[in-house]
Structure 1
């Protein structure tokens, strides 16, 4: 009888714990969230909607920006490519500031809301620069130099969008991932799918941005295109606000860098103490004082930092300062951050390859035969839609078929671990640059032949469809490298730094854009001495094929170094929460990989 009553009691406890979400999140009224009515897909769909509209706006502008700068602003190829890279780089580096502020002070929801309105203001300013007569590019349809006031307003609107992205991008994706409970098996699996479907929505936006929006820009007007994306952004901001009752919110915990600094200082202070052979002797939060915060398991790497958690005998009875004694969890969080550094550095070439898709690849397309039929001509920037198609095809196949098979083979929840997925994407990036170099070499040979035999340097005979392979490989590579990097920088950072983690992922792309501009400057300087620069004033006088071969070699070397750095990498190890006793089990661990 007693056993039966005990079973019923356990059953009620399990049902109660299943009913509520105990992952340190709260609902919009500050209460423990109800699992059935908050979070998961019902909440993340609102997040995906606003992400879709933002990416549609961004790609609609970014993919055709180099064409606008060369055709309307009359900038040469080098200047236009550098301006695009500077803007794109700033857009993807600003999230480091926004992510820090969100994690420390504002929270992700309010940072997303503020940034969305700022983004809308930038789009509105951009729209006005196309319609208001006094700030339009020119008085007439044909001019050699745009008005200075238009240049000022145009770049002001662009950088307004860039700064708003600083708070928008790092917080929105992490806020969407926060809607899934890591302590719940089914929700944890759904979170893995969330990153895949996040990129599916992103690439669908890229597809529409590179086709519909770019077509409107080229054949109707930039003003109409800007008006369309501004209205869509306004509608999705309203939808995002409507979803407020369904969200799960993470409370801010103050400066996320402070605990890391405390660990470093505490370890230096106790540098002369020997590390105990038994990790159980290191300090951890007493069970009576534990909150819903997830605890991390001790790992053997970077043992010097373990000294920060050594309990000194003379202070056993006293409560130590956090600048002298920290928990094992804080030590492990610091190890995670240090381990991020080599991964971040070796991932920068991914950003360099992505940068080519919105700059030099577009100019390649513009110099080719854009006619698909006698009656239809494709915009050069629309070729980037092929990369979106590559991702749109790859993501569902990977998420629904390949992962299911690999789970059975490897026993890993993800199918393959995160770093292996990234390395596959990096290998595909090498292939991408090789294919791009071969295609460009063929295009140059045909352009030179036409110039010699027909006397028309701009006579296009090579079809733009030759660019399909390189754009397709770019999309497939992104399905592995970019999604893998998103998962890595979300999962392998301390829970209190997830917005900053997404900002670090975005900074890979941002620094990649700046590196691309830096390489263009260096290559132009070195090769231009003999009057035959690899990157000249126009694409037919350039040697982009050699530039692409150089990028292929750089990517191959960095991939080798990446594989060396990640060999034996230790992933975040989290203690499982015992829901029945509302405490943590030390013998059960989730390896986040």
Structure 2
């Protein structure tokens, strides 16, 4: 039967028959099993990376947090590169296959590192502050492993979502798939933040990484075993080419006089277009028809694509420009979240993590509180909060309003973190250190903020970006988070250089002051964000009342 399906599919594809039986719900178990295995793998090593660097490589606390932020930045930004490669050159299926294998090589190398003592420095002697630093060779092997597993994981993040959605024709089926996609990713994250991190802390790093390697290998074989059923998307030309063409054409014709007549502009015959908008008027020259815009080839003439663009292409480029100020505001609010995530692990290491006589909360598992909180609030928002708001006001919350609400919760979380850390510092030297449970409230609140703003960020970019860039637009939230990791690394470095707030032993520092700096920055950024919202006009919201978010 499988052979018959494969033969039929091949014939249908080769003949261009649109009734090909590839795709549909038969691909669902393969894609979800692959996603679950890769999620367990990726979260299994990245969530406990700071503790791994401190315990196994004798790296100082703050330096370990900065290395983790750099790795997480790559982890978040590379999906855009792979999305472009998949959309423009190779397609999703080959990129997922290659990335899953590269990820396996990286996690397997991490497992080898924890299996052989000569690949790591000797552990610190108990009670001694003198520890052996890792050699250049040991660091080189570590960084090679991190580079492989980061690249591989990033290559499957966005492409698995796009490949899964491409298997379905009906919007309802696509929506159902995305719900399952989100649930599966968070299930993998919760398993990693609890079972895998607990294994690493209480059994061995070798067993923890070994389980991740096994999950990755199984998911790789599951994915390639379902290739006969997948609907393969065809790579298209780079969607960024048209954006570059607009800049080139407008620059070449920078001396041309802008016309107020519609017939003087080039229009796409397949799309009903009007006059170019008045904003960014310089770019309107890209669609202005002037002498020299035609190329001659024998008896025929055709448009020079680097001198003449359609009005639609010009407006698409303007849409991207209008989103840049909002993109900056969203990026700046993600930076405090990243700093908080790093500091919480360091705080967790110096609190009483015992819950009962036999269980100790792993510091790397603290972020599971944020994940669970975000999942619960997203469900509550979709089923209760958003429908109730729409019923009371007769209009839905816009994406920017949701992002603004999320920013308020983020600022509140930073303020509570500052108060909690101030209280913790007063308990230093006491017989009983502060319980780790005090760290839970700010993590819950930041999870509430993420539940509002992260889905809304994706909704905003996907809805407002040009259609040709929508696949890439869905990955821009990941880019924002990636840049935030680098900004947080730079911020921590500046604070370390200019103050005494972040020593290697945070019991002698003032992490609470760091949180207050984040609160002040968050308030300033919220003001900037509100100004951007006031000036921004949606392209694709039908209700005129929703054009602005005052």
TM-score, normalised via structure 1 length: 0.79
2:385 is aligned with 1:402: yes
Q: 1:315 to 1:370 in 2, by over 3 A?
A: closer
Instruction: Give the Cα–Cα distance (whole angstroms) in 2 for the partners of residues 356 and 286 of structure 1.
Output: 50
More deviation in 163-172 or 437-446?
163-172
Asked if the contact 2:415/2:516 (under 8 Å) is kept, the reply is yes
Residue of structure 1 equivalent to 2:417: 436
Q: 1:138 to 1:555 in 2, by over 3 A?
A: same
Residue of structure 1 equivalent to 2:23: 38
2:345 is aligned with 1:362: yes
Residue correspondence of structure 1 range 436-455 to structure 2 within 5 A: 436-447=417-428, 450=430
Q: Any idea what the Cα deviations from partners look like across 1:112-145, whole Å, max 9, x if unmatched?
A: 2211110111011111112245535549997943
Q: 1:301 to 1:107 in 2, by over 3 A?
A: farther
More deviation in 396-405 or 325-334?
396-405
Residue of structure 2 equivalent to 1:11: none
2:300 is aligned with 1:328: no
2:509 is aligned with 1:542: yes
2:199 is aligned with 1:221: no
Instruction: Give the Cα–Cα distance (whole angstroms) in 1 for the partners of residues 273 and 229 of structure 2.
Output: 27
Q: 1:209 to 1:185 in 2, by over 3 A?
A: closer
Q: Any idea what the Cα deviations from partners look like across 1:77-100, whole Å, max 9, x if unmatched?
A: 221111111211222233343333
Q: 1:422 to 1:366 in 2, by over 3 A?
A: same
Deviation at 1:223, TM superposition (A): 0.8
Instruction: Give the Cα–Cα distance (whole angstroms) in 2 for the partners of residues 350 and 42 of structure 1.
Output: 41
More deviation in 512-521 or 97-106?
97-106
Q: Any idea what the Cα deviations from partners look like across 1:206-260, whole Å, max 9, x if unmatched?
A: 2221111110001001111111111112222233334445544443222332211
Instruction: Give the Cα–Cα distance (whole angstroms) in 2 for the partners of residues 329 and 501 of structure 1.
Output: 18
Asked if the contact 1:283/1:311 (under 8 Å) is kept, the reply is yes
Which residue of 145, 156, 161 maps to 1:157? 145
SS of structure 1 residue aligned to 2:190: helix
2:50 is aligned with 1:52: no
Instruction: Give the Cα–Cα distance (whole angstroms) in 1 for the partners of residues 278 and 165 of structure 2.
Output: 29
Asked if the contact 2:458/2:476 (under 8 Å) is kept, the reply is no
Instruction: Give the Cα–Cα distance (whole angstroms) in 2 for the partners of residues 110 and 297 of structure 1.
Output: 42
Instruction: Give the Cα–Cα distance (whole angstroms) in 2 for the partners of residues 51 and 299 of structure 1.
Output: 43
Which residue of 366, 372, 392 maps to 1:383? 366
Q: 1:525 to 1:136 in 2, by over 3 A?
A: closer
Asked if the contact 2:287/2:314 (under 8 Å) is kept, the reply is yes
Q: 1:34 to 1:405 in 2, by over 3 A?
A: farther
Q: Any idea what the Cα deviations from partners look like across 1:300-326, whole Å, max 9, x if unmatched?
A: 643432332234489799532112221
Asked if the contact 2:38/2:153 (under 8 Å) is kept, the reply is no
Residue of structure 2 equivalent to 1:579: none
2:61 is aligned with 1:77: yes
2:525 is aligned with 1:551: no
Residue correspondence of structure 1 range 226-265 to structure 2 within 5 A: 226-244=209-227, 247-265=230-248
2:48 is aligned with 1:64: yes
2:165 is aligned with 1:172: no
Residue of structure 2 equivalent to 1:104: 88
Instruction: Give the Cα–Cα distance (whole angstroms) in 2 for the partners of residues 435 and 513 of structure 1.
Output: 22
Asked if the contact 1:418/1:488 (under 8 Å) is kept, the reply is yes
Deviation at 1:548, TM superposition (A): 0.5
Residue of structure 2 equivalent to 1:206: 189
Deviation at 1:275, TM superposition (A): 4.9
Instruction: Give the Cα–Cα distance (whole angstroms) in 2 for the partners of residues 87 and 221 of structure 1.
Output: 23
Deviation at 1:354, TM superposition (A): 3.3
Residue of structure 2 equivalent to 1:310: 288
Asked if the contact 2:103/2:153 (under 8 Å) is kept, the reply is yes
Q: Any idea what the Cα deviations from partners look like across 1:335-367, whole Å, max 9, x if unmatched?
A: 222223222211222332332354210111111
SS of structure 2 residue aligned to 1:565: helix
Which residue of 473, 479, 499 maps to 1:501? 473
* Structure 1 unmatched runs, 5+: 1-26, 451-458, 528-532, 576-590
Residue of structure 2 equivalent to 1:423: 404
TM-score, normalised via structure 2 length: 0.84
Residue of structure 1 equivalent to 2:447: 475
Instruction: Give the Cα–Cα distance (whole angstroms) in 2 for the partners of residues 542 and 231 of structure 1.
Output: 41
Deviation at 1:437, TM superposition (A): 0.7
Q: 1:233 to 1:366 in 2, by over 3 A?
A: same
Number of matched pairs: 524
SS of structure 2 residue aligned to 1:319: strand
Deviation at 1:446, TM superposition (A): 1.6
Instruction: Give the Cα–Cα distance (whole angstroms) in 1 for the partners of residues 274 and 218 of structure 2.
Output: 41
Instruction: Give the Cα–Cα distance (whole angstroms) in 1 for the partners of residues 383 and 539 of structure 2.
Output: 25
More deviation in 66-75 or 364-373?
66-75
Deviation at 1:523, TM superposition (A): 1.0
* Structure 2 unmatched runs, 5+: 1-11, 295-299
Asked if the contact 1:371/1:377 (under 8 Å) is kept, the reply is yes
